[in-house]
Structure 1
Amino acid sequence: MSTPITASLVKELRDRTGAGMGDCKKALEAVGGDIEKAAEKLRIDGMAKADKKGSRTAAEGVIATASSDEAVALVEVNCETDFVAKGDDFKALGETAAKLALKHRPATVEALLALKDGEQTLEELRRVFVAKAGENTTIRRFEVVEKSGGAIAQYLHGARIGVVVALSAGDADLAKDIAMHVAASSPRYLDAAAVPADVIDAERKIIEAQSAEQAAGKPADIVAKMLEGKVRKFLSEITLVGQPFVKDPDQTVEKLLKSKNAGVARFVRLAVGEGIEKKQVDFAAEVAAATQV
């Protein structure tokens, strides 16, 4: 015996699953009005839709954050378009992911996706969102930074760049200033000691190749000093302490920290879509192809 498909039943299913009204109505009709079976059908259909869209490039999105007195979590959540990224439901998914990361400190993204928010795992919530939004959506990466002796600060720039700085010593104002500097200047490493040897070796080879003509005919010791000077310049450009402080370029971040008897224990910077190769779409060609019979 089937149950009448009323507007209130459709709304109840929508409130429970987050699926669209039309999808809820179709699911209820398919199972004779049984709301439990309809919810299960929507879950399965949502997973199928999510799997189909999984190969599509998702390079837009937000950096979501969650914080406590002792730590800050950053999570990058991606989708396909800026329009979806600006939606409240997408932002809510990011906030949920960040809160779970902060609370449980999972080791991997897979472990994060397996965590539950209420009765559903984060992966199930992601798949439901994909089915609703019609776009590939991923929880790409996350970082949890713990307090380390000094102040800890976070800085978000338009929800597309997220930074956390944990000082080994220093106050909240300084931590905030350093976080803003990291957002603007994008250092790759804390200091020269943190730069991997293979990174330095690769850059040294590039410098040697570029300087070959300039070095011709010069004494070996002079050439060596010239090359080392360029390597030091490279290291200053990619390390936090070596960069000119963005609010006062006349001093480096290292000098700023020393003047405050402060230090940086760790920093993290995440930018939306960083490292993702975006597919170039010719919309005019797509429209022309779609109109041809």
Structure 2
Amino acid sequence: MLGALALLDDVDITAVVTVADDGGSSGRLRREVPGIVPPGDLRMALAALAAPDDRGELWARTFQHRFTGEGALTGHPVGNLLLVGLTQVLGDPVAALDAAGALLGARGRVLPMSTVPLEIVADVAGVDADPRDVRRIRGQVAVASTPGRVRSVAVEPADAEVCPAAADAIAAADLVILGPGSWFTSVLPHLLLPGLRLALEKTGAHRLVVLNLAPQPGETEGFSPEQHLDVLSAHAPTFRIDTVLADTDAVALPGRLSAAAGDRGARLDLAGIAVPGAPRHDPPALARALRRVLDRL
């Protein structure tokens, strides 16, 4: 999504990123540096927005480079360590992200949804022998990888403050985009933090939901496109959607999805936005679809 937006030369991009990652390098850093905002997803967003010149590409590759070997640094991306170091030096994760963005020549701003680390908590059915039993699963990695069907998801601490800069960016936006991404652990969390949900509900921006190309094992396995909208509405019933964007080939029953979007007051846009033969979005094609949405505004 950020790669697609960066292809549009007349947009001012702000990426608001979840801070509940507890796996890999981010998980290790959360355990070793208490209170630190997990940097992994923030790093990925910064790298996606790096300037398309030699300097930006060098820094993006460096940010994404993982240390090899057998020591304590093994597996850590350079960017994760740099973001943690900048946060400690500057005393503010937002200032750290802005400084890192300047280093990469980022074509936009990257912000955390909250300046405190969060934890994903989900109620999952089908984990035990009796499919009616529901077990509470904690942690983003555990939720994404536990067999069964996610019934509901929440973030803790439930009263965590929204990042003020993120709320301000949403209030000033012309277009707000949710998705694509892991539905329960990356997309829905934006609507589970009270301050962020309020900002998304009050903004005068056009609200666009971009659906995934396929169900995700461990989170939305067996879900139809319209079930993704059902889950979103169940978790945030007062959040209004204006447009739903989906890949033409990923929607088996477009009439049903159009009706589901219409029930929420939204229109459905179908376009070829996937890389042919591959399960990922194509940035240039996605950029063209986004341009059509922007032109309607």
Bucket of the pairwise TM-score, normalised by the shorter protein: under 0.3
TM-score scaled by length of structure 1: 0.28
TM-score scaled by length of structure 2: 0.27
**Greater fraction of residues in helix:** 1
Name which structure has the greater RCO, CA cutoff 8 Å, separation 6+.
1
**Greater fraction of residues in strand:** 1
